[in-house]
Amino acid sequence: MRRTRDHRDEQQDDEDDPPGRMRLDKWLWAARFFKTRAIAVEAIDGGRVTVNGERAKRSKMVQEGVELRVRSGPYETIVIVKDVSARRGPATEAQLLYEETPESKAARERMALHMKQFGGDWDKGKPTKRDRRDLDRFKGR
């Protein structure tokens, strides 16, 4: 019979972390880079998160002073870990867990401007019937 997780298991997970250190997937979730830990795990396993310039596993322990690079879509965020938190709090608290580098901020702003100017509609989703007809007309079908 499969055992389901309950509140005591979550407390046990938190107690396993040494003081001042935390698993990478938990930290990314607590710092609100990802909505769920499962999504954070997918990003780490997919190579979209690096720790001090090296590809990391989800169980990598992070602590103060570690540099993280997190890619999400076309954006890359470079942050320095300032603190760890065992719980996921409000966004204002989450922002205290890290400091984004000035180069990262500038690069994100440039990318946002570029996306706004040249590719604002790149993620509109499924084309409408009208869009498909326009594409067919353009392609000469």
| Domain identity same for 94 and 55 | yes
pLDDT of residue 5: 54
List the Cα angle 32/100/116 in 5-degree steps. Answer: 80
Do 118 and 99 touch, CB atoms closer than 8 A?
A: no
3-state SS class at 61: strand
**Bridge-based pairing state of the strands 75-81 and 98-100:** antiparallel
pLDDT of residue 40: 94
Q: 51 pLDDT band (50/70/90 cuts)?
A: very high
Q: Residues 16-31: what's their mean pLDDT?
A: 86
What distance separates the 2 farthest-apart alpha carbons in the chain?
65
| Domain identity same for 92 and 123 | no
Task: Show the tokens assigned to 11.
Answer: 């407390």
- Domain with 81, as residue range(s), is 1-100
Number of domains in the chain: 2
Q: Residues 94-120: what's their mean pLDDT?
A: 88
| Domain identity same for 57 and 113 | no
76-93 per-position pLDDT tens digit: 999 999 999 888 999 999
On average, the pLDDT of the chain sits at 85
Task: Please state, in angstroms and rounded to a whole number, the distance separating the CA atoms of residues 22 and 25.
Answer: 9
3-state SS class at 2: coil
| Domain identity same for 1 and 61 | yes
Percentage of the chain lying above the pLDDT 70 cut: 83
Do 122 and 115 touch, CB atoms closer than 8 A?
A: yes
